[in-house]
Amino acid sequence: MKISSVEVTVFTYPTRRVSDSAGHSHPGEESQAKMAMLTITTDEGDCGYSFAPPEVVRPHVVNAFFRKVLIGQNPFDRERLWQDLVHWQRGSAHQLTERALSFVEQALWDLIGRKLNMPVHKLLGGFREKVPAYGSTMCGDELKGGLSTPDEFGQFAEKLVARGYQAIKLHTWMPPVAFAPDPKMDIKACAAVREAVGPDIELMLDGYHWYSRAGG
């Protein structure tokens, strides 16, 4: 078995996710977003897939590195292929990023799992049939009906519990929201969620990188 082709397909899809000036996600008007699918195919017709932003797997990266290293090689030699790609990083002028390498590895694992008809987590030694999941909020915002107040965090938390989540992580407010960061507002949001869901739901708070070690 040898890798015969490495292709990237760019496609659009509808989304209501918008990013603020710091790159954090908020709900917004529906628009079209772009995504790229990396496909690694063998001479036996087996394929592996992974998804990436188009900028990460642009044509130069695919032609100068992915195809140069992968085509003609056995996809089961995943570790060697990874090391061969890492070797090219030094001379890539930072074009071959860690993120780009990760999409190759994901596609190789996907190909191997499909070939062996086995979930990748089993190939990696996983033994659990299920794991706990928690519900996670988007960033606090200033949109009416979004997550603009502590009470709206509480209302959203109630919906998560109704869906079966037994743990919730809050992402509260950060710049460019006018008043953020504000630990006192974050505490109010946590209190509103605790009041809404009761004492038995586990709560987490993601403070991002906005809290200082000295506090305030």
| Predicted pLDDT of residue 215 | 55
Average confidence (pLDDT) over 85-110: 94
Query: Quick check: 36 pLDDT over 60?
Result: yes
Answer yes or no: are the C-beta atoms of 119 and 108 closer than 8 Å: no
Question: Using alpha carbons only, what angle is made at residue 189 by residues 187 and 194, rounded to the nearest 5 degrees?
Answer: 95
Residue 61 has pLDDT above 60, yes or no: yes
d(CA 27, CA 143): 9
pLDDT digits (tens, 9 = 90+) for 174-206: 888 888 889 999 999 999 999 999 999 999 999
User: 15-26 burial by CB neighbour count: b if 16+ within 10 A, else e?
Assistant: beeeeeeeebeb
pLDDT at 118: 96
Q: Taking residues 8-27, what's their average pLDDT?
A: 85
181 preceded by a cis bond (ω within 30 of 0)? yes
Q: Which of 48, 45, 41 is nearest to 105 (CA)?
A: 48
Q: Give the global pTM.
A: 0.80
CB count within 10 Å of CB 196 equals 20
For residue 75, is the peptide bond before it cis, meaning its omega torsion is within 30 degrees of 0?
no
Whether pLDDT at 101 is above 90:
yes
Q: What is the mean pLDDT of residues 99-104?
A: 96
Confidence band (pLDDT; 50, 70, 90) for 160? Answer: very high
pLDDT in tens, 145-158: 789 999 999 999 99
CB 70 within 8 A of CB 6: yes
